[in-house]
Structure 1
Amino acid sequence: MRRIWAALTTTAITAAALTGCGLGSSESKNSDSVASAAATGEVKGKVSIQTWALKPKFTDYMQGILDGFKKKYPGVEVEWLDQPGEGYSDKVLSQAASGGLPDVVNLPPDFAFPLAKKDVLLDVLKADPKLADEYVAGGVEAYRYTGLNGTFGYPWYLNTDVNYWNSELLTKNGLDPKKLPASLDDLIAQSRAMKEKSGGQTYLMSRKPGLGDLYNAGVKLMSDDGKSFTFNTPEAAALLDKYRDAFKEGLLPKDVLTNTYVGNSKLFNAGTAAWTTGGGNFITSLATDNPTIAPKMVSSPTMGVPPLYVQGLAIPKNTKNPAAAVALARWVTSPENQAAFSHLTSVFPSTKASANDPFFSKSDGTNAGDAKVVAFDSLAKAKLIQPVQVDDAMSTIINQQIALAISGDASSKQALDSAVEQCNKLLKG
């Protein structure tokens, strides 16, 4: 599933590209009429669903779900399409431009956004008013976009980040694994203690900040209408100043701002860094790569609001079978079917009812089990922090300007002003 989660950060389909392909809101049906048909229509006839890179590993699982759906609704015929991981956004763009999207489409929020913006997707909350009450709040919010009215997808499977610490390195360098940092100031203070004890050979801090760190510092990343970035604030500059001072003090690796930086998870794996972040199954995966470190790991919730990684199911407004489409999306994302999927892989369900499942809410007593519970508990307050408008080009600009600020080659305010100016030009372009 790593391929799918990595894909969440790829460039979304642009609204400009959709317009260039001749797809406009005038071609879409009235949302109220489609929602009414979905709510009152009989579940029968042909309906199609498109997933993203689930074959062949999860073929049996998906086929079982669809067989169950057909058993529940004997008058339904389901066509399952699965697209490969590479080029999925281009495939969706092509389908949308030709009006050929399947009735139910697997879309992460950043892929769904430009389609919602062009009035291609159904406001599923109108068709299924119980949605907001039965799914995790952050998952529902992920399909609500600034400047648009509506909820444009069912959250499906989720993940979030957890803090991981090397307890042996902490203890060796005079730190207490039972008193883990809970704020940036704590992290800096303990990083300083680790540097002094280890002689600069081991790091606690091993990455530069990003938009998520600014968000958790109380910085508003975008305007309410979603038309401009706003993260060049005094609070944002103050946070970058803290990182700049920590970098100057040698509390972060020297190459953390360069292209040679390998990433803090690799530094953690190598035993050079004592802190990293990862999904709820990170200990299990690391046990394969470095079985000596895995038993020494302890977990804690992320500092601030946990980031939410979301996959979901959207429904195009031009579906010819809205009642069956909504019923199918609801069926695939039901607590039982999501739980079965989560037992097979390293993701978490998006339904509130899943909180009662001991598989997620109770640890088996291992450090991996503890981390899974930390991750699952975090989902109740996790949010899609990075705006869906941020594409690869914008991410590159933001990372470059943050690096300039931390290195001292530009003031924090200058760097943030430049990043916002450049990103706003791309946003309007």
Structure 2
Amino acid sequence: MGKKILLMLSSIVLLTVLVACSEEGDGKNEIVFNTMELSPTFDDYINGMIEDFEAENPDITVKWEDVPAAQIEEKTLTEASSGDMSDVVNLNPRFTKKLADVGALLDMDEAASEFKNLYPEGLWNSGKVDGVSYAVPWYFTTGGVIYNTEILEQAGFSEPPATIEEAWEMSEVIYEETGAIAGGYTTTAWQDLWVLFPTYGIDLVTEDGTQAAFNTDKALELLKDRKEYYDKGLIPDDLLLDNSLAKEWYADEKAAWWVSGPQLFRQIKDLNPEVYEKSKAAPFFVGDANNVYSAIQNLVVSEQSDNPEAAVKFVEFITNKENQLEFSKLVPILPTNSEAAEDEYFLSGENSEDPEEKGLYYSATNIDKAVDMAPPIGNANEINTILNEQYVEVLINDKDPQQALDDAEEQVNNLLAE
């Protein structure tokens, strides 16, 4: 009798184990993947990509959770604090750095060492904190220039500017001759002091991330120049405070050029087909550092992941040439994978007269210049806000440029000392 009871108990234990294994996905490694507002628009693409990955890796299942952009930071921080962060998360570089700063992310320099060379250094460094990169770049957008050939000709120019300095010099002439605004900008936004400084090789913080580094003679010179341009009417308040109007200004021929992602150039055709027909594309303006501002989206892996190898393998799959190319054709983005950027889809625009096609060519061939301008520290967002606020104070409220730099330096140093 005792043997029968023991046998029954053994059978129950075995059944319990089997049920538990079944509940865990038949022994598969499950990873959770968070994106920002890609559903339902890209359901087919994301689900298809997951199906392909799972077919290649039958021991791994991927659970996709799409999160509103306004909630993903709070959600990820809350989960990281409770030890339950999703395995793979789509984040921007500044929030990536904040999470890396508190030890929540996997070191991707080490984990992705076998495929990190597929991404240009400037893009790879978008996840860097204290000399270590904690992200794989997924996709990015960078500026190109669409310009009105007639306005430039009226001002006596046959070619667009190549550098920021040339752009401002031409802007003054264009404004005087035609009344159109132009400008020499380093990003698609007009409040761009935190981008302007790195474009000229001015670090925002010291290498160890403990102090502000931007209060220099060159920074003062740049700020004085910007104030001079503003006083001459070359930086209108409307565009300074609301960059979304720039597209309409260009379509209405109130602006000689528009700095934006080339994939958005066709919006001008929708607003004013005649202006689009007289437009051409040009590469992004560069400064002394010969780099190009880029808005980058990263993929990070949780340090708490139970399946880090599976998560890294999925990140590699998401960012391979084929998947990045497919995504780039669905949405106005650029691939971070160098092999994808060399595809005929982008390079075919080299001799095109269409602004969007030519702009895509310029953007793809400039991938090695693309960088994230935010400082490689956890509170990069706050530093950007401080600099932008001081910039507007100088332009609109006539604050002394040196005082603005001093005040910004003090605020940033206080922030870094917390």
What is the TM-score of this pair, normalised by structure 1? 0.82
| Cα separation, partners in 2 of 1:375 and 1:72, compared to 1, 3 Å | same
1:217 corresponding residue in structure 2: 200
Cα distance between partner residues in 2 of 1:269 and 1:427: 43
Report the CA distance between 1:315 and its aligned residue. 0.9
Report the CA distance between 1:361 and its aligned residue. 1.9
1:73 corresponding residue in structure 2: 57
Counterpart pick for 1:196 among 153, 157, 176: 176
* AA partner of residue 379 (structure 1): I
* AA partner of residue 327 (structure 1): K
2:363 corresponding residue in structure 1: 375
User: More displaced, 397-406 or 104-113?
Assistant: 397-406
1:246 paired with 2:229, answer yes
1:413 paired with 2:413, answer no
**SS at 1:292 equivalent:** helix
User: More displaced, 66-75 or 237-246?
Assistant: 237-246
- Residues 292-332 of structure 1: CA distance to partner in whole angstroms, max 9, x if unpaired? 32222222222221112111211112211122111111111
Report the CA distance between 1:183 and its aligned residue. 2.6
| Cα separation, partners in 2 of 1:245 and 1:97, compared to 1, 3 Å | same
| Cα separation, partners in 2 of 1:86 and 1:394, compared to 1, 3 Å | same
- Residues 160-207 of structure 1: CA distance to partner in whole angstroms, max 9, x if unpaired? 11122122221233322xx21223332232222223322xx3222284
| Cα separation, partners in 2 of 1:343 and 1:423, compared to 1, 3 Å | same
Counterpart pick for 2:147 among 165, 189, 193: 165
Runs of at least 4 residues off by over 4 Å: 206-209, 254-257, 259-263, 388-394
**SS at 2:45 equivalent:** helix
1:230 paired with 2:213, answer yes
- Residues 195-224 of structure 1: CA distance to partner in whole angstroms, max 9, x if unpaired? 3322xx322228465222222223221110
Verify the 8 A CA contact 1:244 1:408 in the aligned structure 2: no
Counterpart pick for 2:281 among 288, 291, 299: 299
User: More displaced, 226-235 or 293-302?
Assistant: 293-302
* AA partner of residue 180 (structure 1): P
| Cα separation, partners in 2 of 1:356 and 1:202, compared to 1, 3 Å | closer
Cα distance between partner residues in 1 of 2:364 and 2:261: 10
2:325 corresponding residue in structure 1: 339
**SS at 1:387 equivalent:** coil
Cα distance between partner residues in 2 of 1:314 and 1:306: 23
- Residues 324-344 of structure 1: CA distance to partner in whole angstroms, max 9, x if unpaired? 111111111111111111111
1:49 corresponding residue in structure 2: 33
- Residues 252-294 of structure 1: CA distance to partner in whole angstroms, max 9, x if unpaired? 336666x588653442233211122101212122322333322
Give the alignment's Cα RMSD to 1 decimal: 2.4
| Cα separation, partners in 2 of 1:373 and 1:142, compared to 1, 3 Å | same
| Cα separation, partners in 2 of 1:291 and 1:68, compared to 1, 3 Å | same
Verify the 8 A CA contact 1:191 1:205 in the aligned structure 2: yes
User: Which protein shows a greater Rg?
Assistant: 2
Cα distance between partner residues in 1 of 2:43 and 2:65: 11
- Residues 32-78 of structure 1: CA distance to partner in whole angstroms, max 9, x if unpaired? xxxxxxxxxxx952222111111101011111111111111122222
* AA partner of residue 229 (structure 1): A
Q: Which runs of 5+ in 2 are unaligned?
A: 1-26, 185-189
**SS at 2:32 equivalent:** strand
**SS at 1:311 equivalent:** strand
Alignment: residue pair count: 380
Cα distance between partner residues in 2 of 1:262 and 1:313: 28
Larger proportion of helix = 2
Verify the 8 A CA contact 2:30 2:60 in the aligned structure 1: yes
